[in-house]
Structure 1
Amino acid sequence: MIAINNLTFEIGARALYDEANWHIKPGEKIGLIGANGTGKTTLLKMIVGEYTPTSGTISMAKDLTMGYLNQDLLSYSSDKNILHVAMEAFERQNQLHDEIENLLKKLETDYSEDLLHKLSDKQHEFEVLDGYNIEYKAHEILAGLGFSEPDTHRKLSEFSGGWRMRVMLAKILLQAPDILLLDEPTNHLDLPSIQWLEEYLKAFEGAIVIVSHDRWFLDRVINRTVESRKGKLTVYAGNYSFYLEEKALREEIQRGEFKNQQSKIRQEERLIERFRAKASKAKMAQSRIKALDKLERVDDVDDDNPSVNFSFRFSKQSGRHVVTLDNITKKYPAIDILEHAEAVIEKGDKIALIGANGKGKSTLLRIIAGADKDFTGKAETGHNVSQTFFAQHQLEALHLENTVLQELQSFAPKHTETELRTILGSFLFTGDDVFKKIKVLSGGEKSRVALAKALTADANFLVLDEPTNHLDIASVNILVQALQQYQGTFIVVSHDRYFLDNVANKIWFIEEHAIKQYPGTYAEFDEWFAKRKLAPKAAAPATQPKKEEKKEPSPEKHQSDERSKQIKKLNQELVRMEQEITELEKTVKQLETQLADDKLYNDANNATKVTDNYQLKKLELQEIQAKWESLAEQILELES
């Protein structure tokens, strides 16, 4: 389909690609991956002909059709409605439609046989090209990408860049080309739209090349992975998870070969050194030197997975209840967000707030962070809570003339330069990178600086709005490690499901203007939510009969009342369990304090008694916590 042979592309003195090779076959679904700056977007631009290689060839069939989605389309605008823009994909069908309309007008005054034949031919071709269904297809794809029916009649220019990008994606999908080249297609999509796009691409019959930092998305769509690294393109015959396993295996083999070769080289060098001075052995030594020079060296394995090697600390622990939301109502002129909503964030909660765009996720975060006061009800911050709020607009708040190191020093003066450089190293700012000025950084680099600032704050509660935007896979992994180590409480909004599944222990979502929660990981929630959607919906309550009729309540009403009573009873049991958990946590903490006291061990019997009691109470705590989670899940299912 497309053959890339000995491709070299140079930027100044730097070779972005150096004699790289890659063949794309029909029907392959490929993830093109690699660190930022390794040339993924550049390669796509070379395939579509926007850039010319320094040397080498990219060959393909002349009639091959390509659909290319790139971030440059963010700036595209039009005063036509988005349905019209999306339907521009059907170039020939639109042309035939106009020709048929013109012929029909002419037939009002001219009934010639020639015109009738032309009309028949045009209508036949239009039907063969499925022209009568193109508007339906356009509506279907626009709906899948999150547009409502009224939206389709609005001008493209009325939408933000992210929503315009969705329209351009719809147009490209409607073209149904032989190969799709998609550069970060999920960047401006919410979770429902990402899930819709996954299903669409899995069913797509042509070839696909996707550049994406969304590991979950890649795993669900692709069947090949191509890594762009050190100027080469390496193919792995599986999805992203397969790539990780296969690459680890290849690196293990390479590491072994490197060690063996280094051992042989050292042995040869010792022999050469020993015999070089002896006249009788000089010739042999020279021969071995030449052989060493000609030896094809095996490279050692580079560590591409930086780890977080510092610990986050805060000076005070928060109380049990970090934030309490009571009877919150929040409305905008055109939309109701929350109505008499209630929720509690407890110490140690790692909450993922998910849902479609426009449901109020960012609004709820601002209410929790205290940045939005325009609502009714109470949002109370608990005892000893110190918070940091991270949002994308804070990238603009960075001081452009500061270096990366200066930016952190001004924000966290209590940290030493060594500590700050260690933190920055974990966020991929190594060596002289810390002396780069903020103004020259890319969007992803600015995000990493802002995140490093947020995580160096003396805060036991983090509020994070889209922290994974602009981050590549390596940077997302760093953030995952950082939040896994973090001992405080946080709530985060993100569309990166791999990230959410690895950091959250509780899921929040806004439904019917209320805050609902699921006590578990994102993967568990995803499975539960999918089953919930498939389950038949409960019958609507019967209309209340008039008083004078004195009819018996309908079975549906009786069933609803019984469910309400059951939910109330279970909620009371849940409150009782929470009180028991609180008491057990106090007891466990007291026993831990005793066990940490060296004096305890002067009395062996007492030490054994305290240890046994500690193990018993810890086991009781684990059991009741498991019961609490099971009960909470039961309540959620009854409420749904």
Structure 2
Amino acid sequence: MAAFREVLTKHFPNVDEEISDYVSSILEDGVDDFDTGEDLYEAIGMLLQQTDVSKSDQDIKDICNRLYYVMNGDDERSSPDTNNGETNGMRKMLDSPVMLSSMASDMKNKADDDHSIWVKKKGSNTTVDKKKLEKAEAKIQKKQGKRTDVPKKENGVPMGELATASQQINKRDARLDASGNNRSTDIKIEDFDIAFGERTLLQSASIHLVAGRRYGLIGRNGLGKTTLLKLISNGHLKIPSHISVLHVEQEVTGDETKALQSVLECDEKRENLLRREKELNAIISLASTNPEEDHAAQLQKVYQDLEAMESAKAPSRAAQILCGLGFTPKDQVRPTKEFSGGWRMRLSLARALFMRPDLLLLDEPTNMLDMKAIIWLENYLQDWPKTILVVSHDRQFLNAVSTDTLHLHTMRLEGYRGNYEVFHKTREEKLKNQIKEYEAQKQYRDHIQVFIDRFRFNANRASQVQSKLKMLEKLPPLKPVEKETEVVLKFPETEKLSPPILQLDDVNFYYSKDKILFTNVSLNANMDSRICIVGENGAGKTTLLKLLLGTLDPVKGIRHVHRNLRIGYFTQHHVDQLDMSQTSVELLAARFPGKTTEVYRAQLGSFGVTGDFAVRPVSSLSGGQKSRVAFAVMSMANPNFFILDEPTNHLDMETIEALGEALTKFGGGVVLVSHDERLIRKICKELWVVSGGTVRSLEGGIDEYKAIVEAELAATS
């Protein structure tokens, strides 16, 4: 290391000892990792540049070349720029002949003596101590006066609360990508870590996405599924540069652009060609008597490019996608500013489906869709030609769409072939086998230990005891099977009320007289009711809930309600209205003052918000965890009837299962709007369909409704 320090001190007189030690350790350990001085420049060039900003890139490259020659056993003076182009680095004049056959024999004998089967070969990746690197870079920033005591922020969020990623980049893959010769659309992200603030989400994880396959990403709330998608889409996790990525995350900006045009405009190549076509036609028309040949040739090339990309079919393809997602022909020519946030998210999804990127990232795409649009999307994605990575809580959707499953748990990712049902069966079988193996190992160990304990002090059995002790030492470590904790949600006990509980009689309702929403609606719910309301978006499901709640008054008709009825209402709007700056405990204390911290924590614990999560700011919780907090707030008032509007949005599958169990055991009545087929089958005894200004009950339940929807889709396709 002394030789490296000498070169560094010579060229960087003011270099800190810590930085010098760190760079020297990389050079000493990396003899086999660097093939040229250019490789060395890629590894440490930026760090050296920060050490002395007065030096140019060429200066740093020259220094790296000198360090490279020193690393290979040469004096710095033998590098090309100090020896008139003559090197004594990789090529040396030998003083005597070398007998290669004897060298090979000696090496073989030495390998046999050292048990060479256990020798670990070095990979192609440079080993870098991340902690030392961060410490060295921090010291450089401090010297340059770039650090301040004020926490850095990105989009108003403190950097400590943002997700960060570190990743090992394979040098060969990086060179192939830089050369522009990489045409594979397979994606490998190897050996990466993800942290959120000080909390590690993923450690030494790897992903391999085969082109054309559809991957379902599953795991508990708060483990980092959404964070992983964001880091891939924003480039913090590197993938080959020629692969296009699109993440459906933000809603379309509302302006005067029509919905159909908004979808068409996302294809920038097509838009640029159409714009150029207009420009060239205008130029040629002005010189109609004698148009220039160059302009005519350019226009011909534009026409050829438009024809090659089937530009004429683009409007019909965009209209088909919008129609499938619930946009009527009239909606497709409406300005985007007239749509709500949920419909603008649908527009974002439509734009992504229209663009067909190499990698499509979808985060809970079914949250914004009704059942008809979900069934259409399932069918559409089954023929998707590119790669998909989708996070979803909808088991039916994943069963229909995914060809592979990625399971995120205990800070790692495991891949399975097949959809969610195949994964679930495989996972259960794997856990059973692991438990059997663990119990067998434990039983074997216990059997040996009994013998050792029995004859430990018996001189006649001393050799046998020693043999058994050695057997125990050679056995692999006994690790219990890692099982995810069971999710349990518990709603409060409630007293029974005698009917009538809640009913609407001959209700009419409209927001404006020219558009009547409901006519002569009569409904009844009691303490045993488990009713699910379904229908297309915009049909009036949420309005019906508000009529049942009493927040909207009927234009005509009567709402009857039991005098002791206490309704608990859950909607995504309530989740969004939580005070994000408070902790969950503080939020409950503000809403329901006068109780102890233990009471608030017990209430949160009933909905799975335990330990550190209860005292973290709500803003740092995942979408599913925020929903659990909202459930805890709703239940604190001890309601005896629930009205729930899309309660499964952002919940993981285990929590949805627990919600179904809790609602089944709940002593009061339940009316909910949901598109989650599994939850509907699990708890609902009655199905109300909102359509055409009326509400009707379906005796055939969810199966009859799905058959109706599929028939409508078949008729419109």
Give TM class, smaller chain.
Answer: 0.7 to 0.9
| Residue equivalent to 1:519 | 699
Partner of residue 214 from structure 2, selected from 14, 29, 37: 29
2:271 is equivalent to residue 94 of structure 1: yes
2:419 is equivalent to residue 239 of structure 1: yes
The normalised TM-score by structure 2 is 0.66
User: Alpha carbons of 1:59 and 1:274: their partners in 2 closer, same or farther (altered >3 Å)?
Assistant: farther
2:604 is equivalent to residue 427 of structure 1: no
Q: What code does the residue aligned with 2:427 have?
A: K
Q: How many residues align?
A: 527
Q: Residue deviations 1:208-257, cap 9 Å, x none?
A: 11111222211111121110112322122211122111111111111111
Instruction: Compute the displacement of 1:102 (Å).
Output: 1.8
2:243 is equivalent to residue 64 of structure 1: yes
Distance 1:176 1:437 in 2: 38
Q: What code does the residue aligned with 1:339 have?
A: T
Q: What code does the residue aligned with 1:19 have?
A: S
**Conservation of the 8 A alpha-carbon contact between 2:364 and 2:650:** no
Partner of residue 178 from structure 1, selected from 355, 358, 370: 358
Secondary structure of the corresponding residue to residue 168 of structure 1:
helix
2:189 is equivalent to residue 4 of structure 1: yes
| Residue equivalent to 2:82 | none
User: Alpha carbons of 1:533 and 1:74: their partners in 2 closer, same or farther (altered >3 Å)?
Assistant: closer
**Conservation of the 8 A alpha-carbon contact between 2:627 and 2:651:** yes
User: Alpha carbons of 1:398 and 1:126: their partners in 2 closer, same or farther (altered >3 Å)?
Assistant: closer
Secondary structure of the corresponding residue to residue 4 of structure 1:
strand
Distance 2:244 2:651 in 1: 31
Pick which of 512-521 and 107-116 moved more. Answer: 107-116
2:509 is equivalent to residue 330 of structure 1: yes
Partner of residue 211 from structure 1, selected from 376, 382, 391: 391
| Residue equivalent to 2:24 | none
Distance 1:453 1:379 in 2: 27
| Residue equivalent to 1:38 | 223
Instruction: Compute the displacement of 1:383 (Å).
Output: 7.3
Map of 1:322-471 to 2, 5 A cutoff? 322-333=501-512, 335-373=515-553, 375-382=555-562, 385-395=565-575, 404=584, 424-431=604-611, 433-435=613-615, 441-455=621-635, 458-471=638-651
User: Alpha carbons of 1:8 and 1:403: their partners in 2 closer, same or farther (altered >3 Å)?
Assistant: closer
| Residue equivalent to 1:248 | 428
| Residue equivalent to 2:678 | 498
> How big is the alpha-carbon RMSD for the aligned residues of Structure 1 and Structure 2?
3.5
Map of 1:140-289 to 2, 5 A cutoff? 140-277=320-457
Distance 1:307 1:39 in 2: 18
Q: What code does the residue aligned with 1:329 have?
A: N
Q: What code does the residue aligned with 2:693 have?
A: H
Q: What code does the residue aligned with 2:504 have?
A: L
Distance 2:372 2:712 in 1: 15
Instruction: Compute the displacement of 1:487 (Å).
Output: 3.5
Distance 2:709 2:361 in 1: 31
Distance 1:410 1:277 in 2: 66
Identity %: 32
Distance 2:459 2:422 in 1: 56
| Residue equivalent to 2:498 | 318
Q: What code does the residue aligned with 1:359 have?
A: A
User: Alpha carbons of 1:349 and 1:155: their partners in 2 closer, same or farther (altered >3 Å)?
Assistant: same
Q: Residue deviations 1:478-511, cap 9 Å, x none?
A: 1111111123321101232222222211111222
Distance 2:643 2:653 in 1: 22
2:664 is equivalent to residue 484 of structure 1: yes
Secondary structure of the corresponding residue to residue 524 of structure 2:
strand
**Conservation of the 8 A alpha-carbon contact between 2:188 and 2:209:** yes
Q: What code does the residue aligned with 2:435 have?
A: R
Q: What code does the residue aligned with 1:42 have?
A: T
Q: What code does the residue aligned with 1:99 have?
A: R
Distance 2:273 2:709 in 1: 45
Pick which of 359-368 and 150-159 moved more. Answer: 150-159
User: Alpha carbons of 1:42 and 1:390: their partners in 2 closer, same or farther (altered >3 Å)?
Assistant: closer
Distance 1:184 1:352 in 2: 21
| Residue equivalent to 1:547 | none
Q: Residue deviations 1:384-403, cap 9 Å, x none?
A: 64433333343467677986
Q: Residue deviations 1:245-304, cap 9 Å, x none?
A: 111111111111111112223233334444555667667656655654554335433443
**Conservation of the 8 A alpha-carbon contact between 2:532 and 2:674:** yes
User: Alpha carbons of 1:335 and 1:306: their partners in 2 closer, same or farther (altered >3 Å)?
Assistant: farther
User: Alpha carbons of 1:384 and 1:111: their partners in 2 closer, same or farther (altered >3 Å)?
Assistant: same
Distance 2:195 2:470 in 1: 33
Instruction: Compute the displacement of 1:417 (Å).
Output: 9.3
Distance 1:115 1:437 in 2: 62
Partner of residue 18 from structure 1, selected from 199, 203, 206: 203
Distance 2:665 2:595 in 1: 19
| Residue equivalent to 1:106 | 283
Distance 1:120 1:13 in 2: 58
Instruction: Compute the displacement of 1:345 (Å).
Output: 2.4
User: Alpha carbons of 1:435 and 1:124: their partners in 2 closer, same or farther (altered >3 Å)?
Assistant: closer
Instruction: Compute the displacement of 1:331 (Å).
Output: 0.8
User: Alpha carbons of 1:401 and 1:518: their partners in 2 closer, same or farther (altered >3 Å)?
Assistant: same
Secondary structure of the corresponding residue to residue 516 of structure 1:
strand
| Residue equivalent to 2:25 | none
Pick which of 108-117 and 5-14 moved more. Answer: 5-14
Pick which of 24-33 and 188-197 moved more. Answer: 188-197
Instruction: Compute the displacement of 1:7 (Å).
Output: 3.1
Distance 1:399 1:535 in 2: 46
Q: What code does the residue aligned with 1:365 have?
A: L
Instruction: Compute the displacement of 1:441 (Å).
Output: 4.4
Secondary structure of the corresponding residue to residue 696 of structure 2:
strand
Distance 1:420 1:21 in 2: 39
Q: What code does the residue aligned with 1:38 have?
A: L
**Conservation of the 8 A alpha-carbon contact between 2:530 and 2:685:** yes
Q: Residue deviations 1:304-352, cap 9 Å, x none?
A: 3625485752223331x43222221111137421122222224522111
Instruction: Compute the displacement of 1:186 (Å).
Output: 2.0
User: Alpha carbons of 1:190 and 1:36: their partners in 2 closer, same or farther (altered >3 Å)?
Assistant: same
User: Alpha carbons of 1:280 and 1:405: their partners in 2 closer, same or farther (altered >3 Å)?
Assistant: farther
Distance 2:618 2:278 in 1: 58
Q: Name stretches of at least 5 consecutive residues in structure 2 with no aligned partner.
A: 1-185
Instruction: Compute the displacement of 1:356 (Å).
Output: 1.8
Q: What code does the residue aligned with 2:409 have?
A: R
Map of 1:285-296 to 2, 5 A cutoff? 292=472, 295-296=475-476
**Conservation of the 8 A alpha-carbon contact between 1:307 and 1:426:** no
User: Alpha carbons of 1:9 and 1:404: their partners in 2 closer, same or farther (altered >3 Å)?
Assistant: closer
Distance 1:443 1:506 in 2: 29
User: Alpha carbons of 1:528 and 1:486: their partners in 2 closer, same or farther (altered >3 Å)?
Assistant: farther
User: Alpha carbons of 1:303 and 1:429: their partners in 2 closer, same or farther (altered >3 Å)?
Assistant: farther
Q: Name stretches of at least 5 consecutive residues in structure 1 with no aligned partner.
A: 53-57, 537-640
Q: What code does the residue aligned with 2:244 have?
A: T
Distance 2:278 2:628 in 1: 56
User: Alpha carbons of 1:442 and 1:66: their partners in 2 closer, same or farther (altered >3 Å)?
Assistant: closer
Q: Residue deviations 1:571-598, cap 9 Å, x none?
A: xxxxxxxxxxxxxxxxxxxxxxxxxxxx
